[in-house]
Every structure is written in structure tokens, then in C-alpha cells.
Amino acid sequence: MLHNRANGKELKEKLRHSGEQRTTISFYKYHKIEDPQQFRNELYLLFNSIGVMGRIYIAHEGINAQISVPTENLELFKNKLFEIGFLKGIRLNLAIEDNGKSFFKLKILVRKKIVADGLNDDSFDVTNSGVHVNAKEFNQLAEDKNTVIVDMRNHYESEVGHFKNALCPDADTFREELKIAEQLLANEKDKNIVMYCTGGIRCEKASAWMKHIGFKNVFQLNGGIIEYARQVKEQGLENKFIGKNFVFDERLGERISHDIISHCHQCGKPCDKHTNCKNDGCHLLFIQCNECNEKYNGCCSAECKGIIELPPEKQKEIRRGINKGRQVFKKGRVEKLRIAN
């Protein structure tokens, strides 16, 4: 079995009631993989055998993984992972706020790229990335008036948390983010450009691209927000990140500071709790406070609330043939979310 065919809702419910201790981990590596499909199959058999769950993308250019591992198998997982030549000694980002409920199944997909960036990798040296800096060095650069800090994540990520004084481009995807960042920084090519993202993978490519198009002093936060938060805590450094770090798993966020910098998309109250609309024909990602969650039964609108109250067969009939990709792509940018009554 090279795929998990079990019912997703049943697996989520099983995980919710499970008392098993699990550790959430992310890692990535740009490396030439000759046969991504074969590597994918071998990795699935290995990870499935030790209880790994999560989402992994594999392409000719490398691997991008967000997973959870049974805590009792953590050392076994590391040993097995490090036996893979190009992954030996790779940095593993451990979740900051981890309840062990991040993933409910193992999914490994072969993609054209491990991060969709829209770039032609043959046109520049993707290994010529920016200078990697740790938390202490990042803080020092942040105090320099000649520094511009750039958030290389999407708008719905930076909306709930970002570094102080960071430039947060209003983008829906990383592909858009690169173009917008390039435009916004057009007159800043002689300044210190410090880039950051969740775990570092987007900045590897983005910083190399920025250097390619003429930026001279390009830096990237090594290990991203996740590693920064860990170092700040361990070393007693000033935390310059405010709010939550959005994560792409069932948790949808981990708190870095106590600041709440965003608002409920429905009533406008201070809130930074993301959720997905419970209507299977929508699944829109948006910010919803507890009061609105109760009022709309976990939905993004009165319309969707009405739909989930219908019999299951009627719901299937309504969503049959509907392409919900646009709503998911826009991540909450639809008119029906604007301060509902």
C-alpha cells in the first residue's frame, strides 16, 4: 500500500481522540532527485512503517516536508532519515506550539516543484542564496537603519503575525509575492534586504533570485520563524516577532507572542484564529472568533450555515460540479465575509 485510502473525516476524529504523543517537524532540501516517483514510493514505505503522518512534496529539485512523528519513534525517525545520503544531518524544525494533532494521514506527492514560484531555474543559480543569519544576527540587522525586512509569505500568513517593521506584500501566492517584492524593493538595491518565511524554504529561492536581479546585500533568516522562535527562547533574546506563526496543518497557527494583531473577518473583533468553513462545498480559510463560530456554526456565512443544516444528500447535490479552487486560492477574499450581520 503506497497510499492511505481511509476516510479523512474518520482519521481526523481518530486523531482528535488519540492520546498518542506526537512531535511536529518540518524540513526541506534542494537537491537533484533523478527519479522522484521511485524516491517517493521508497519514502512512503519507510515513513508509513514508523507511523509518520503529514504532507510531503517531492520534485526533481528536492523535498519539502511537514510531518508529525510518534514521539517514541523520534530517534528512530532521525536515524532512518539521516541514512538517506542527501538528507544526512539536515536541520529539522520542531514546532513551537505543538499539541500533536497537526496531521492525520501520510500524503507524499510528486510535483514539478517543491514550492510553486513561477521562476525558470535554468536562468539563474538557485544555489547562490542570501547569507543565512541566526536570531541574534537577525535582531542586529533589524536595528540597522539601512535594513529592509521582507516577509516572503502570503497575506493570510502575515495578517496574524509578522516581524516588527516588516514589509508584508499583499499577495495570495508565493509566485505573486516574488513579483510584488521585486517591485516594492526596486529602489532599495543597496540596502540590507533581510527575508524571512515560515521555515526557510521560500527564502532559499527568493534570496537567490533577488541576488540574480541585482540586489547586493541579501540575507535570509535561517530556519525561518520556527527556528527564530526557538533560538529567542533558548538564548533569552528579544523577540521581534509579533502575533502567531501561520502553519499549513490542522493547527493553522502557533503562538509566538501574546499580541493579537488581526480581526475576526465576520464581526471585526480582535482575533487571530484561522479556520476553514465547515461547508464541504466551500472550505474557505478565514479568521473567526468564538462568538461568530457559534453564530455561524463554523461557517463563513449565513449561506454556508444554511447549507450544512441540509441533509447530506442535498448538500452533495448543491456542491456537485462546483469548482471551489478559487475560494481556497483567495484565502478569505470574498465579499460574503465582509463583517456579516
Angle value at C-alpha 160, between 146 and 92, nearest 5 degrees: 80
Q: What is the mean pLDDT of residues 259-268?
A: 95
Q: Which pLDDT value is given to residue 8?
A: 76
Residue-wise pLDDT for 196-245, tens only, equals 999 999 999 999 999 999 999 999 999 999 999 999 999 999 999 999 99
- Is the pLDDT assigned to residue 338 strictly greater than 70? no
Query: DSSP 3-state assignment of 95?
Result: coil
Residues 183 and 187: their CA atoms lie apart, in Å, by 9
What is the spatial distance between Cα 51 and Cα 289, in angstroms, rounded to a whole number? 34
CA gap 195, 221 in Å, rounded: 6
User: Residue 150: is its pLDDT beyond 90?
Assistant: yes
pTM of structure: 0.89
Q: Is the pLDDT of residue 341 over 50?
A: no
Grid cell for residue 298: 463554523
Place 15 in a pLDDT band, splitting at 50, 70 and 90.
confident
264 belongs to the catalytic site: no
Q: Helices 201-212 and 174-184: crossing angle, nearest 10°?
A: 40
The pLDDT confidence band at residue 327, using thresholds 50, 70 and 90, is very low
**Residue of 168, 197, 203, 289 with catalytic role:** 197
Q: Are strands 131-133 and 217-221 parallel, antiparallel or unpaired?
A: parallel
Q: What is the number of alpha carbons within 13 Å of residue 51 lying toward its C-beta? A: 15
